[in-house]
């Protein structure tokens, strides 16, 4: 059975692109378009992995990640932040919030995401 990924991304276009990348390696993808919705989804039906954008309406990805990592129901789910907010400061904020990896959205993002999934054991090499 395919592992399920929860993608929290407010841009429908980017969500579709990321979903296609994840589905191309055999994962099933559910999408939440904002932080509170992502938290509800993660708690109600815990996925194998959460891919989280930083720039979200109402609650940013750092806040969502901290809440996920504080909740016993979701604290062990790997979280990968995939975001346009690049740079060392943003990366440190993401990792401090509890993210397992922090990937800038650039031309290597899909490749980096697949590599990270392999490192986390979500995907087989």
* pLDDT score recorded for residue 30: 97
Which two three-digit tokens encode residue 101?
């990896």
Q: What is the pLDDT of residues 54-91, one digit of tens each?
A: 999 999 999 999 999 999 999 999 999 998 888 889 99
Domain extents in the chain:
4-119
| pLDDT band, very low/low/confident/very high, at 12 (cuts 50, 70, 90) | very high
* pLDDT score recorded for residue 86: 81
Burial label for 44, CB within 10 Å (0-12, 13-18, 19+), is exposed
CATH of domain 4-119: 3.40.50.2300
pTM > 0.85:
yes
Pair 41, 67: CB distance under 8 Å = no
| pLDDT band, very low/low/confident/very high, at 1 (cuts 50, 70, 90) | low
């Amino acid at each position: 059975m395919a592992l399920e990924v929860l993608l929290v991304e407010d841009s429908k276009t980017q969500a579709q692109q990321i979903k296609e990348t994840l589905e191309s390696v055999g994962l099933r993808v559910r999408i939440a378009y904002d932080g509170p919705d992502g938290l509800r989804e993660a708690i109600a039906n815990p996925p194998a992995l959460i891919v989280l954008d930083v720039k979200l309406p109402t609650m940013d990805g750092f806040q969502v990640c901290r809440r996920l990592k504080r909740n016993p129901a979701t604290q062990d789910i790997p979280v990968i932040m995939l975001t346009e907010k690049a740079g060392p400061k943003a990366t440190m904020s993401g990792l401090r919030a509890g993210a397992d990896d922090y990937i800038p959205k650039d031309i290597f993002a899909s490749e980096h995401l697949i590599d990270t999934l392999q490192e986390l054991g979500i995907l087989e090499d």
